[in-house]
Amino acid sequence: MCINIPLRFIPHRGILLYMKKEIKKNVTNRLRRVEGQVRGLQKMVDEDQYCIDIITQSSAIRSALSAVEDLMLENHLSEHVIHQMRQGQEKKAISEIISVFKKSKKK
């Protein structure tokens, strides 16, 4: 039996799960805000605004992206990791979480 799945729904790493609707909505809203903040930051640079103000805005953007990461981690733990554990893929789940944790410590 062949299942026709559109290319955009091919799962990453063999996991076909979706984001929780509320998390997806929050992430999308936050990313739109970040997009506006980045545009504002670019405008500040173009207008030769005060360096400290630019650094402050840059820090706010980094903080906003960190909130996106937190939401994505919440979704991953509550959806994908549970699925991996149920499928006997504990090592894979643990490896992914450790990898993300190590990357976040390098910030």
Q: Which helix (H) or strand (E) holds 31?
A: helix 21-46
Average pLDDT over residues 79-103: 90
All structural domains of the chain, each given as residue ranges with its CATH number in brackets, are 19-100 (1.20.58.1000)
Comparing 25 with 9, the larger pLDDT belongs to: 25
Please check whether residue 15 is in contact with residue 84, taking contact to mean a CB–CB distance below 8 angstroms: yes
- Say whether pLDDT at 13 is over 70: no
Residues of 32-55 as b/e, b for ≥16 C-beta within 10 angstroms?
Answer: eebeebeeebeebeeeeeeeeebe
The predicted structure's pLDDT at residue 17: 62
The shares of helix, strand and coil residues in the chain, as percent rounded to the nearest 5, are 75, 0, 20
The predicted structure's pLDDT at residue 80: 86
29-58 confidence digits (pLDDT tens) = 999 999 999 999 999 999 999 999 999 999
Global pTM?
0.75
The predicted structure's pLDDT at residue 73: 92
